[in-house]
Structure 1
Amino acid sequence: MLAEIATIPLQFDTPFAGELFLLGRILFGVTLAFMGLNHFMDVDTMAGYAEFKGLPAPRLSVVASGLVLVLGGLGVAAGAFPVLAAGALAVFLLVSAVTMHDFWSMDDPEEKQSEMTSFLKNVYGAGAALALLAVGGTAWPYAVGLGLF
Structure 2
Amino acid sequence: MTDEETTDERPCGRVFLLARLVFGSVLAFSAIDNLRNLDEKIEYAESNNAPNPEQTVPFVSGALLFGSVGIMLWRLPRLAAISVLTFLVGVTPTMHDFWAADEDQKEAQMVHFIKNLGLIGGALAFLAHGERDRR
Q: Report the TM-score, using the length of structure 2 for normalisation.
A: 0.88
1:127 aligns with 2:121: yes
The answer for the alignment partner of 1:143 in structure 2 is: none
Residues 30-75 of structure 1: CA distance to partner in whole angstroms, max 9, x if unpaired?
A: 1101100011111111101100111122122210121011100000
Hey, which bits of structure 1, 4+ residues long, moved more than 4 A? none
Aligned partner of 2:102 among 104, 107, 112 = 107
Structure 2 unaligned blocks of 5 or more: 1-6
Q: Kindly state the Cα deviation for residue 120 of structure 1 after the two structures are TM-superposed.
A: 1.1
1:117 aligns with 2:117: no
1:66 aligns with 2:61: yes
1:76 aligns with 2:76: no
What amino acid sits opposite 2:106 in the alignment?
K
* Aligned-CA RMSD value: 1.7
The answer for the alignment partner of 2:10 in structure 1 is: 11
Q: What is the SS of the residue equivalent to 2:88?
A: helix
What's the % identity of the aligned pairs? 35
How many pairs are equivalent? 129
Q: Kindly state the Cα deviation for residue 9 of structure 1 after the two structures are TM-superposed.
A: 3.9
Q: What is the SS of the residue equivalent to 1:138?
A: helix
Aligned partner of 2:82 among 78, 82, 87 = 87
Q: Report the TM-score, using the length of structure 1 for normalisation.
A: 0.80
**Higher helix proportion (structure 1 or 2):** 2
Bigger Rg, which one: 1
